[in-house]
């Protein structure tokens, strides 16, 4: 009989996040939601009067800020409850209720930005003089003005806001299907025991030294998705169509330009990434050849991608050991950083282990005015330790920004979201490499470093190219059927892995299980973030305190400056291909060392 996961109420409290730090109970959350609605009702009375005077503009923006400070924890509470057990319909209903309320509020208050945009600049400057507290909102107003070409009259803004709830349906439906409804099959593990494949168990199965286990997990995973590929193609096509709707409505030439402009990033940054990685595929092909040689196989298959190529060097990393190692590895970031890490580890910021119905993967979620929360599905592997360091990087980035910035400037842009998390991973890797004297362990770690590059720079850029291609196809009027998506994905996979990899037919359906394809051109930022993090981590280890100070200035920046400018503070300019090329050169250097060691 297959070993099943623990139910949520069977998980030890110490391994769950403490949502009582947000609200004592659900009635307290309901009171907060009512307060949000009351503020929204007061703000609704400002229609036609937002810019009537300096005082009315200040009153509008200060109330909007107050509402935001209450909305952040309310969303955090509902979403965390829902994610810890996606099968709990009460918590799912709370999340859906709040999303519905927020959509309604966004619709009712959609007049605010258009009224601000109608205000003459000279009058605005007078208002700053008449009400000095307005100065705190200057950058917020400037950001509204930056997007003026893409703003619409108030009635049209109201319609777009009303449509946003249904535009989330593809993402929400995929999440419910993937996390709650999809039942993956059973298989036989290395010990001859029957186990059920889950999202959390899939990677450990793919890391198995038993090739039969890897192949069986791989084939059964994609056979399952094949059963639903037409439905999933329809969902993904629906996701792109809603992006096209908003891009056209806001007068953008493409969905890609709409997505990057939202973060104040140039499309050239995206194109630089794809072009530079494609120009360095020879390094990826070298890595694939090395993997094939070390695994001693006649053919290297896609189910051989994750298994360690250094035999007998992998080991279990229990959660308690992982926390201690991470604290030592991140010590170069200073005592204040370590104190915050210890607080997160000790005070239940983290939901540690997989349970039945729990959302797959890992993330960090921050809310202004409180501590962040981290979702893990920890499995005692080296990968899980790196993931824990990664997510705590996100969390401390949120903490620094939330502490240093007023609410409107606290939320860092998605474009820089992966920098702090990946910097932590690289510092952890450098620490582990520095503290091993065992040749086999060093080779194992070097391979893990290469796998991080493969998974974050090469793989995520392949994902980014898939998004770009499929969006462009839809914009050209092509139909995105399951077969079309399979063909596009298979061609990219074959190109990125090269001639020494057998691209098994099943891999064509990998697109069908990637939740990030519903995040609106998110994945390229993993690769740009990784590249920036390589540079920052190396500066920290080489320069010490001055580089740490620059880095913490970046961490504390929130969205007070454009993201590319904030990265320049930390010493990285992503408007050029150089950081990407420099990172890929490091990949080549690590590959050189591993080839010599083995």
Q: Give me the residue spans of the domains in the chain.
A: 8-167, 183-227, 231-315+413-598
CATH homologous superfamily for the domain 183-227: putative peptidase helix hairpin domain like (1.10.287.830)
Q: Quick check: 447 pLDDT over 70?
A: yes
CATH homologous superfamily for the domain 8-167: Oligopeptidase f, N-terminal domain (1.20.140.70)
State the average pLDDT over residues 341-349.
Answer: 97
Q: Quick check: 2 pLDDT over 60?
A: no
Minimum mean pLDDT range among 102-111, 222-231, 316-325: 102-111
Contact yes or no for 360/178 (Cβ under 8 A): yes
Q: Quick check: 1 pLDDT over 50?
A: no
What is the tens place of the pLDDT at every residue in 367-425? 899 999 999 999 998 889 999 999 999 999 999 999 999 999 999 998 899 899 999 99
State the average pLDDT over residues 451-477.
Answer: 96
Measure Cα distances from 88 to 75, 80, 180, 181 in Å: 17, 12, 10, 12
Buried b (16+ CB within 10 A) or exposed e, 215-254: bbbbebbbebbbebbeebbbbbbbbbebbbebbebbebeb
CA 268 vs. chain centroid, Å, equals: 21
Contact yes or no for 360/377 (Cβ under 8 A): yes
The strands making up 363-365's β-sheet, listed across from edge to edge, are 350-351, 373-375, 363-365
Q: Quick check: 312 pLDDT over 80?
A: no
Q: Which of 391, 418, 425, 506 is catalytic?
A: 391
d(CA 419, CA 183): 34
pLDDT of residue 315: 80
Half-sphere exposure of 374 (CA within 13 A, CB side): 30
For helices 154-167 and 229-249, give the axis angle rounded to 10 degrees.
170
Measure Cα distances from 576 to 94, 280, 415, 459 in Å: 45, 16, 15, 21
Active site residue 391: yes
State the average pLDDT over residues 534-556.
Answer: 95
d(CA 268, CA 274): 10
What is the tens place of the pLDDT at every residue in 161-194? 888 888 999 999 999 999 889 999 999 999 999 9
Confidence at 313, pLDDT banded by 50, 70, 90? confident
State the average pLDDT over residues 94-109.
Answer: 93
What is the tens place of the pLDDT at every residue in 504-518? 999 999 999 999 999
What is the tens place of the pLDDT at every residue in 120-175? 999 999 999 999 999 999 999 999 999 999 988 888 988 898 888 889 999 999 99
Minimum mean pLDDT range among 45-54, 215-224, 358-367: 358-367
Q: Is 338 exposed, middle or buried (0-12, 13-18, 19+ CB in 10 A)?
A: middle
What is the chain's mean pLDDT, rounded? 94
Angular region, 558: left φ>0, alpha ψ -120 to 50, beta rest: left
For helices 417-434 and 319-329, give the axis angle rounded to 10 degrees.
90
pTM of the predicted structure, to 2 decimals? 0.82
Confidence at 3, pLDDT banded by 50, 70, 90? low
pLDDT of residue 458: 97
pLDDT of residue 414: 85
Instruction: Evaluate whether 183-227 and 231-315+413-598 have a shared fold.
Output: no
* ∠ CA 31-32-34, rounded to 5°: 65
What is the tens place of the pLDDT at every residue in 267-276? 999 999 999 9
For the 231-315+413-598 domain, the top CATH level (class) is mainly alpha
What is the tens place of the pLDDT at every residue in 189-230? 999 999 999 998 999 999 999 999 999 999 999 999 999 999
SS (H, E, C) 132-191: HHHHHHHHHHHHHHHCHHHCCCHHHHHHHHHHHHHHCHHHHHHHHHHHHHCCCCEEECCC
Measure Cα distances from 353 to 306, 346, 387 in Å: 21, 16, 13
């Amino acid at each position: 009989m297959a070993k099943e996961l623990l139910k949520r109420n069977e998980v030890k409290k110490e391994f769950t996040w403490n949502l009582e730090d947000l609200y004592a109970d659900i009635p307290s959350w309901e009171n907060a939601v009512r307060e949000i609605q009351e503020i929204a009702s007061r703000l609704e009375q400002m229609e036609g009067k937002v810019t009537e005077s300096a005082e009315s503009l200040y009153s509008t923006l200060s109330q909007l800020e107050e509402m935001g400070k209450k909305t952040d924890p309310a969303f955090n509470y509902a979403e965390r409850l829902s994610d810890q057990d996606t099968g709990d319909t009460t918590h799912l209903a709370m999340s859906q209720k709040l999303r519905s309320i927020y959509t309604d509020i966004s619709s009712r208050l959609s007049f605010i930005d258009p009224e601000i945009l109608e205000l003459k600049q000279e009058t605005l400057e007078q208002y700053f003089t008449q009400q000095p507290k307005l100065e705190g909102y200057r950058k917020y107003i400037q950001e509204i003005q930056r997007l003026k070409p893409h703003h619409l009259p108030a009635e049209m803004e109201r319609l777009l806001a009303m449509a946003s709830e249904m535009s989330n349906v593809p993402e929400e439906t995929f999440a419910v299907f993937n996390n709650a409804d999809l039942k993956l099959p059973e298989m036989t593990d290395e010990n001859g025991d029957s186990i059920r494949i889950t999202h959390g168990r899939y990677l450990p199965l793919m890391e198995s030294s038993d090739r039969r286990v890897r192949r069986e997990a791989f084939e059964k995973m994609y056979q399952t998705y094949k059963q639903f590929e037409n439905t999933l193609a329809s969902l993904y096509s629906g996701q792109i169509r809603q992006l096209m709707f908003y891009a056209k409505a806001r007068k953008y030439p493409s969905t890609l330009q709409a997505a990057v402009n939202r973060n104040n990033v140039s499309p050239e940054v995206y194109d630089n990434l794809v072009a530079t990685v494609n120009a360095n595929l020879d390094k990826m092909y070298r890595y694939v050849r090395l993997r094939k040689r070390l695994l001693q196989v006649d053919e290297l298959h896609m189910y051989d991608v994750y298994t360690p190529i250094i035999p007998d060097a992998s080991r279990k990393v229990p959660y308690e050991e992982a926390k201690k190692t991470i604290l030592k590895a991140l010590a170069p970031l200073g005592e204040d950083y370590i104190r915050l890490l210890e607080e997160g580890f000790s005070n239940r910021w983290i939901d540690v282990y997989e349970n039945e119905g729990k959302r797959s993967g890992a993330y960090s979620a921050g809310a202004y005015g409180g501590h962040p929360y981290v979702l893990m599905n920890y499995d005692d592997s080296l990968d899980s330790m790196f993931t824990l360091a990664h997510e705590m990087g996100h969390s401390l980035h949120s903490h620094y920004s939330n502490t240093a910035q007023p609410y409107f400037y606290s939320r860092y842009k998605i474009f820089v979201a992966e920098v702090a998390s990946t910097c932590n991973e690289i510092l952890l890797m450098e620490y582990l490499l520095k503290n091993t004297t065992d040749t086999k362990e060093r080779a194992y770690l070097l391979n893990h470093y290469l796998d991080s590059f493969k998974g974050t720079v090469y793989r995520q850029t392949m994902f980014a190219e898939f998004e770009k291609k499929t969006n462009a196809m839809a914009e050209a009027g092509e139909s995105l059927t399951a077969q079309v998506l399979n063909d596009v994905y298979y061609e990219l996979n074959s190109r990125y892995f090269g001639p020494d990899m057998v691209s098994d037919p099943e891999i064509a359906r990998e697109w069908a299980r990637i939740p990030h394809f519903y995040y609106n051109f998110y994945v390229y930022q993993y690769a740009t973030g990784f590249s920036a993090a390589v540079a920052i981590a190396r500066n920290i280890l080489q320069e010490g305190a001055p580089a740490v100070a620059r880095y913490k200035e970046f961490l504390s920046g929130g969205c007070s400056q454009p993201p590319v400018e904030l990265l320049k503070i930390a010493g990285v300019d992503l408007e050029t291909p150089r950081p990407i090329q420099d990172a890929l050169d490091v990949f080549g250097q690590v590959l050189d060392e591993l080839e010599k060691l083995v």
